Each structure stands twice: as C-alpha cells, then as structure tokens.
C-alpha cells in the first residue's frame, strides 16, 4: 500500500503534465480500502452517524491528559474524571492563545515527534495557531468524508475539486490518482475558465464536485447564466467555509443541486454534517466531542440559544486538546444529551468580525443577511470596511439588478446600522479572495 502511494507521489509532477496518463493510473490503481490500509477500513466500518457519545473514550483521553500533559497536570494534579458533570465543572476551556503561549506544555510526555507534524493556520486575528497532528490522520479524515459523501451515492470515483489549488497558467486541470481528484484552479475565476471546468467535467463523466462554498457558488452563477445543464451532478460536497444564505439560495433553492455541507476545523477535533444542505448540521459523535457554551461559559442544552462551539479530541494522544474554543458559533436545532444533536447553521467567525459604526458600536455580518427576494438580483456579495462609520458593499449584479434593487439594498443595510453610517454599493465583476483561495464575507482594515 505505502509503496504504491510513494511511487505515485514521486511521479506526481509528471502526472500533472499528462492528465490522460494520470487518468489511466487512476483507472488501474487499487481501491481505497486496499490503498489506505487497515486503519482506514476500521474507521470507515465503525462510523455510525447515529452513534451515542462515547463517554468511556472521552474520559479515557481526558484522564490520560491530566496525568501525562504538563499543562493539564499542573492545573488538575491527580483529579480523575468519572462523569460528564466532572468534565464540565472541572476542566477549563482552551483557546488559540494557549496554542501559541503554552505549546510545549500541551505535548504529552509520550509524544513521539516522528509520528506527528506541526500544522500552522493563519486565523482571522493574524496570529498563527500551531499544533501537532498525526502524520497518518488522513486515513481517518478520508474514512469520514468518504462515508459522508457515500450518502449521495459517491463510491470513491474521480470527483471534480475546486478549492485552493493554484495551477500553472498552461495547465487547466490535473488528476491525482490516489485521492481520486480532478483538480481545477481555485483562483482562476473567469467565465472562460468556468467553461473549461464544465466541459472537462462532461469529458471525464464527473458526477461529484468537492468545493469551497464560494467556488461552488461562482461556478453555479456562470452555469445559471449560460444555461448549462447540471443534471449530471449527483452531489456537491462543501467544506472549509461557511455555507452562506445567498449561496444556498442559488445552489439549493434555485438550481436544486444535491448539497452536503461539512463543518470541521483545522485542529481536527469535531465534525458536524448538513446532509441536505438545509442549514441543519448533525454532530458526529464518533469523530470528536462537541459542546456549545454561552458567554458565561455555561454548557447550553436548550434549542435556539447561540453559543460558541467547543470541541475535544478523542484520539490525538500526542497533543490532546481538551475543551478547545473554536471561535465558531451556532445553536441547537435539536439537542439530545447522548446522541442525535443537530446544530443550526454555523456562523463561524462571523461573530468575531465586526462592522463598526462611527461611534464604535458594531454588528456582525450575520445581522446584515438579506431577504431571499434581494438575493435573486445578485450573483455575489462581500463587505469591505476601511474606516469606522463607512461600509462598502461589493455586489456582483445579475441582469435583473437595477436602481430600485440598489435602493432597497441600501435601505436594508441602513436599517441594521447606525443612521450616520455611510453605505456605498460597489458593483464588481469578482469578489476579493484570500491568498489561500478561501472567501471571507468581510474584509476589514478597522482595528476593533
């Protein structure tokens, strides 16, 4: 298994230049159950979307952490967790600052550096988070995502991918035979390139797309504009960004595309899945332990109350992160003490994002959500703020956009901000993307 993967990796650069040869390699390479080995098969076969919270597994890693991780050993000495009440009442929350300030103390005494690699993410504050993950974590990740996608009929065939890959200008796509990916350039958001994507999907008979929500949306905008037939798409798999209301309005409500949206985060501690693209995220208890907590650090058990998502690893014994505050927010659509909990739409770090009035008061981008009727006149939206009290709203208009719509947009935003705040609508051809290809709903130069 490893020899096959290593061989393909060695020739991967050459495969990028010759996609038809890469496609042949994909056709003859063994299936995932053989390719990724025993641990992949074990994860895949044991995953149960309706499984109960595994208290035994949770308490085991927490008690191990208290005994073997200096940061926790100093705080809790020989305390032993025997119930969820013990866990909630005794164990304090961990934050991104801890990853930066206490990085050595968060490593287990039994940490084996050969088995782990350091991962760095930028974050919205600009301060990078650094943490360790096992080098073979991809087996667990693939197992979960493959099983999630299988609910739409996906059987590990070649899928189209529009995410954060930047290709050479003379390469329109590449094929990765190991991961079963037909990879497109996530930064080349031109109408002509989307036509290349569409034709390539048809050429290779691709039925499934894996995308950032923003990249799926941009593709769908052009497809809708050009009248392309998308009936061949059996599933669009979204992750890594928040699935925004205007994206849902086009992908799900207008084009009726089958969407799955996955909530996760770089630290690999928790996972929740919106299997129907309707804004209802089922918590997967087999992956990690997830809680919601309010502003006073109380655990939320009622529906409809917004709280921060807090997650705990069940299997990273090298650097076990316990009760980690993600900076993402949601509320329960359905709560069950043991299993079956469902989250409402994830607000992500929108609640960290602030659009400021001149007097220093602020709202989050969530508060500015449009009515569905207004979404029908635009093909993209983003907020940009340079100084307090002034807000630019970047709009990609469609053919039905006019002065009346623009007036309604200004009235909508003005009703949610201070009357003194100046609203400027700017029509653009494309929105601002981050260097990693991800989309942020708010680009701000204001220091809060």
Same domain membership, residue 365 and residue 340 = no
Question: Can you give the pLDDT at residue 12?
Answer: 64
| 108 lies in some domain | no
377 and 290 belong to one structural domain: no
Report the SS3 class of residue 137.
Answer: coil
Q: How far is CA 410 from CA 207, 391, 416, 445, in A?
A: 40, 11, 10, 22
Residue ranges in 291-421 assigned as alpha helix (H): 372-375, 403-416
Looking at the 3D structure of the chain, how many domains does it have?
2
In terms of Cβ atoms closer than 10 Å to its own Cβ (0-12, 13-18, 19+), residue 209 is buried
For residues 339 and 213, membership in a common domain is answered with yes
Q: Are residues 361 and 412 in the same domain?
A: yes
- pLDDT one digit per residue (tens) for the chain, 448 residues: 556 566 556 666 677 778 888 899 889 988 899 989 999 999 999 999 999 999 999 999 999 999 999 999 999 988 999 999 999 999 999 998 898 788 899 999 999 999 999 886 644 433 447 899 999 999 999 999 999 999 999 999 999 999 978 888 889 999 999 999 999 998 787 889 999 999 999 999 999 999 988 889 989 999 999 999 999 999 999 998 889 888 999 999 999 999 999 999 889 999 999 999 999 999 999 999 999 999 999 999 999 999 999 999 999 999 999 999 998 999 999 999 999 999 999 886 655 578 888 888 777 676 687 766 787 788 888 999 999 999 999 998 988 899 999 999 999 898 888 889 999 999 998 888 777 777 778 888 887 6
Contact (Cβ atoms closer than 8 angstroms) between residue 130 and residue 212: no
Do 212 and 438 touch, CB atoms closer than 8 A? yes
The tally of CA atoms less than 13 A away on the side-chain side of residue 105 is 14
Residue 288 lies in a domain: yes
Q: Are residues 220 and 309 in the same domain?
A: yes
Q: Are residues 430 and 286 in the same domain?
A: no
SS3 of residue 34 by DSSP: helix
| In a domain? residue 424 | yes
pTM reported for the whole predicted model: 0.83
Q: Is residue 124 part of a domain?
A: no
Rounded CA-CA distance 441/338 in Å is: 35
Q: What is the pLDDT of residue 5?
A: 60
Identify whether 120 is part of a domain: no
Whole-angstrom distance, CA of residue 4 vs CA of residue 2: 5
- Report the candidate in 441, 447, 406 with the shortest Cα–Cα distance to residue 423: 406
As a dihedral over the C-alpha atoms of residue 277, residue 234, residue 270, residue 85, rounded to 10 degrees, the angle is: 60
Strands (E), 148-205: 159-162, 173-176, 181-184
Q: Which pLDDT value is given to residue 375?
A: 76
Length of the chain: 448
Query: Same domain, yes or no, for 222 and 311?
Result: yes
pLDDT of residue 350: 54
Residues 383 and 303 grouped into a single domain: no
End position of a domain, from candidates 349, 381, 416: 349
Structural domain range at position 394: 353-444
pLDDT of residue 186: 86
The CATH number of residue 419's host domain is 3.30.300.30
Specify whether the CB–CB gap between 269 and 312 falls below 8 A.
yes
The tokens for 18 are 């010759």
Check residue 2 and give its pLDDT: 59
Contact 251, 236 (CB under 8 A): yes
Q: Which of 349, 377, 406 is the last residue of a domain?
A: 349
Residue 361 is assigned to a structural domain of this protein: yes
Sign of the dihedral defined by the CA atoms of residues 415, 371, 400, 224, in that order:
positive
> Domain check: are 372 and 408 in the same one?
yes
pLDDT of residue 349: 62
């Amino acid at each position: 298994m490893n020899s096959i993967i290593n061989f393909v990796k060695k020739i991967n650069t050459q495969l990028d230049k010759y996609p038809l040869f890469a496609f042949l390699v994909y056709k003859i390479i063994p299936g995932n159950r053989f390719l990724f080995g025993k641990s992949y098969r074990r994860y895949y076969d044991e995953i149960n979307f309706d499984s109960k919270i595994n208290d035994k597994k949770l308490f085991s890693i927490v008690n191990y952490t208290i005994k073997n991780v200096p940061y926790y050993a100093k705080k809790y000495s020989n305390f032993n967790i025997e119930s969820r009440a013990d866990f909630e009442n005794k164990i304090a929350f961990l934050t991104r600052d801890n990853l930066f300030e206490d990085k050595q103390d968060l490593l287990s005494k039994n940490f084996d550096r050969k088995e782990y690699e350091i991962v760095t993410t930028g974050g919205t504050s600009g301060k990078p988070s650094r943490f360790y993950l096992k080098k073979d974590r991809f087996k667990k990740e693939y197992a979960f995502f493959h099983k999630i996608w299988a609910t739409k009929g996906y059987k590990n065939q070649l899928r189209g991918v529009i995410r954060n890959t930047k290709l050479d200008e003379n390469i329109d796509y590449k094929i990765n035979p190991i991961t079963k990916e037909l990879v497109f350039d996530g930064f080349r958001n031109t109408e002509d390139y989307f036509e290349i994507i569409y034709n390539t999907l048809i050429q290779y008979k691709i039925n499934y797309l894996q995308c950032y929500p923003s990249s799926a949306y941009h593709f769908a905008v052009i497809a809708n504009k050009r009248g392309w037939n998308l009936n061949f798409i059996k599933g669009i798999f979204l992750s890594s960004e928040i699935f925004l209301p205007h994206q849902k309005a086009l992908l799900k409500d207008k084009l009726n595309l089958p969407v799955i949206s996955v909530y996760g985060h770089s630290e690999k501690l928790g996972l929740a899945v919106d299997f129907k693209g309707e804004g209802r995220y089922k918590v997967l208890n087999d992956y990690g332990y997830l809680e919601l907590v309010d502003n006073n650090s109380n655990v939320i058990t009622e529906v409809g109350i917004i709280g921060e998502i807090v997650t705990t690893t069940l299997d990273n014994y090298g650097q076990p992160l316990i009760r980690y505050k993600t900076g993402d927010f949601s509320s329960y659509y359905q709560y069950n003490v043991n299993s079956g909990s469902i989250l409402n739409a994830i607000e992500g770090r929108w609640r960290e994002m602030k659009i400021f009035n001149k007097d220093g008061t602020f709202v989050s981008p969530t508060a500015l959500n449009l009515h569905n009727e207004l979404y029908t006149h635009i093909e993209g939206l983003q907020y940009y703020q340079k100084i307090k009290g002034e807000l630019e709203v970047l709009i990609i208009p469609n053919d039905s956009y006019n002065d009346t719509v623009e007036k309604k947009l200004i009235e909508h935003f003005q009703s949610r901000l201070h009357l003194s705040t100046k609203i400027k609508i700017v029509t653009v051809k494309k929105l601002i993307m981050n260097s990693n290809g991800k989309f942020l709903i708010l680009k701000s130069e204001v220091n809060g």
